[in-house]
Amino acid sequence: MPKPAKHVFVCNQSRPANHPRSSCQAKGGNEVVQAFWQQAQTRNLFDKFSATYSGCLGPCDNGPNVLVYPEGVLYSGVTKEDVVAIIDEHLLGGTVVERLKAPAGIW
Ligand code: FES
What pLDDT, in 10s, does the model give residues 74-90? 999 999 999 999 999 99
Inter-CA distances, 71 with 29, 36, 44, 74, 83, Å: 21, 18, 22, 9, 17
Owning domain of residue 24: 6-100
Query: Quick check: is 90 in a domain?
Result: yes
What phi, psi does 66 have (nearest 5°)? -135, 125
Q: What is the pLDDT of residues 15-30, one digit of tens each?
A: 998 999 999 999 999 9
pLDDT at 51: 98
Q: How far is the CA of 39 from the centre of ligand 1 (A)?
A: 23
107 lies in some domain: no
Does 23 reside within a domain? yes
Q: Which atom of ligand 1 is nearest to the CA of 15?
A: 1
Number of domains in the chain: 1
What pLDDT is recorded for position 25? 97
How far is CA 76 from each of CA 6, 11, 20, 32, 44, rounded to the nearest angstrom?
A: 18, 10, 18, 12, 26
**Which strands, in side-by-side order, build the sheet including 66-69?**
49-54, 6-11, 66-69, 73-75
Report if residue 38 sits inside a domain.
Answer: yes
Q: What is the pLDDT of residue 69?
A: 98
Q: Is residue 106 included in any domain, yes or no?
A: no
Q: What is the CATH number of the domain that holds 62?
A: 3.40.30.10
pLDDT of residue 2: 85
Tell me the CA–centroid distance for residue 32 and ligand 1, in Å. Answer: 13
pLDDT digits (tens, 9 = 90+) for 35-76: 999 999 999 999 999 999 999 999 999 999 999 999 999 999
